[in-house]
Structure 1
Amino acid sequence: MKTPEDARRAVARRLDDDWHKVAAGTGTWRSDVNLGSSQLKGALLAARWDDVFAVRMQWWDWEQEPIPGVRLDWRDVSPTQRLPARLVVDDVDAAARLVGGDWVDRLARARDRRVVLAERFPGLADPARLLKAVDGYTDADFDVACRAAAWFVANPTSGRTARQVGVEGMGTKWLARRGAVVRHLAALDDLGLVPGRPSRVHVTYLDPDHNARAGTRRHDVVTVGDRDVLAYRPRVVVISENRDTAQFFPPVDGGIAVEGDGNGPGAIPDLEWLRDAAVVWYWGDMDAKGLEILDSYRVRGVPARSLFMDLAAYERWGRYGVDDNDDGSRIEPKEPRRLERLEPQEQALYLALCSFVWAGHRRVEQEPIPLEVAAAVVRAD
């Protein structure tokens, strides 16, 4: 039989699932919560009476502080005893009062925004999904989203970059985070923006003969889509998520080191000379994010080999592991993503680092691993 707290959690789950549909007028509230006492009768009830009676008393205490719109229905199990049968929560507002927290304010805010959406975007498809998407927006962000959507409706093929859009309060980072909401509001599959500044990739020449010649550049910048101005076409490419690692990587015949940005492949897979290299290595931290980035390179068509990113490498270098992010927060376990392009040993490390029962460090950064050791592996290929 459910306790009052069990029932409250059940209502909270239902509220979390349905609040936006009810607020948008596209869903209905399911009012009854069965408390599970209907199965308790006869010998079973007698055998469990002590536990059942304790829960019954919890409900009796709960009923002493009634919540508007919420009531408890009882059923007779004997001439002298009753058990709670169901909790009736009349509507979503009663559910918000029962669950507590900020739910009352969230519902009020959602209804206010639904009025705005109906006035400004009367043909909006799936307003419930939109209300859920903007639930965490401040009022200022919601206003910017509405004004931005109106701007794009009026200028669907503006030919501008994101920085050139004339909407007060909206910057490029704001639009990057909330572009899906703006597209939904504007009923546009694409906002019609042109790319901003071309992507640039920093590289370091590793070939010793090249670097020994007077007047040559050791470090260079490549602009994606521009004319190829590399000093030589590399045979070996080492992609590193750490700038120091890339810039100070030891000499490698025909080698070039490429600086990643720490968040994903970005424009790097678009470099023709990188895709044409005989060997491409990817060297990131031994953590869940690093392995996800490795997988994403392969998804983008870069046949990158991993450097020190498997269980064997962890066993060798795990003593240098850390458990905190740069901001001091703890690196937490997580549900693993489905990464289909990791090799078995890489996959095993990824699952271990994500695991809630993993006892080791959650991250081994690449910096403590000597560069000469890494270069020896690259040269041996």
Structure 2
Amino acid sequence: MTRSIALSFALAVGGLTSTLAQAQTTEVVASGLQNPWGVAFIGEGRMLVTERPGRMRVVGADGRLGAPLGGLPAVDAGGQGGLLDVITDRNFHRNRTLYFCFSEPAATGSGNSTALASATLSSDSTRLDDVKVIFSQTPKISSRSHFGCRIVQAGDGSLFLTLGDRYSRMNDAQTLDNHHGKVVRVRATGGAHVDNPHVGRLGALPEIWSVGHRNLQGAALGPDGRLWTSEHGPQGGDEINRPEAGKNYGWPVITHGENYGGGAIGDGITSKAGLEQPLHQWTPSIAPSGLAFVTSDRYGPAWKGSLLAGSLKFRYLSRLVIEGGRVVREEKLLPKLNQRVRDVREGPDGFIYLLTDDRDGQLLRLLPAR
């Protein structure tokens, strides 16, 4: 089934002009997914997809959904929590290793936090074996919000994981004795990366890479080999950042957003010495989730190097044009999609794939303009 959606308007967003684009077409690869969250590619046209209630499935090259995989750990699904992102190891074709993150329930009592696990996909692709939790966010608290939970594998095989501030603990994003509102970097076998900026520092958790984040739900490795992220602001102030080791991205001391219903957050300031400014911000918020760079030639030379971000709130796909490490222009694509875009990935075939967040969610392929 094919859906043609034309972009035929121009408007200003976040100070950048959304320009006229050619009509884009989406093709439904699979449907019937319950609140899908992450997609990863496993070869022969097949994909792994996570569903937030706690299921992971193989989607066949023909779009058929496999039965839920066995072997998953307990998942505390509810609110924004559940089974969230998944990626394959860069040597998946040899080791069948994958990584996934989820809201992990406390071993005793109440509470949860974001956890990162590794596993091996069985040879018949029906279950996960050798499941090992290699990182758990601390502390665990009782919350259904702001889990973050995007995974990116760095060039050396280590893993970046984005972590939300858990909503009620926003001030934790400015301290080093917890994992709330942070990006962390860990080894693929577990444990802090030896080059992390706070390793050996008294009172600091060694996994921390950067601080001052709110709720990061998009992450991708750029053509420059560096990490790029998107995060939700409060009411306004959604951000694109390029987190660097040891830097502070400001939340909640500075923000371009405000409290829900109005009113300043903290001192109501948008900048302060020593705190990083976003490369791009959206006010009003678009609720960005899913982030991917276009590296293939499928969509023509103008798209190559573009950064794509999904919008949950306004239900479109944003194409950000990057020049010199800066966002210089935005195009809004698929304005009539009418589905919350949860994940955005470039497949090994060079096509862009989208997941839509719904009880009857879809896996879509973005086709080149005709």
Give TM-score scaled by structure 1 length.
Answer: 0.22
Q: Which has the larger Rg?
A: 1
Structure with greater proportional helix content: 1
Q: Which has the higher contact order (CA 8 A, sep 6+)?
A: 2
Alignment TM-score, normalising by the size of structure 2: 0.22
Structure with the higher fraction of residues in strand conformation? 2
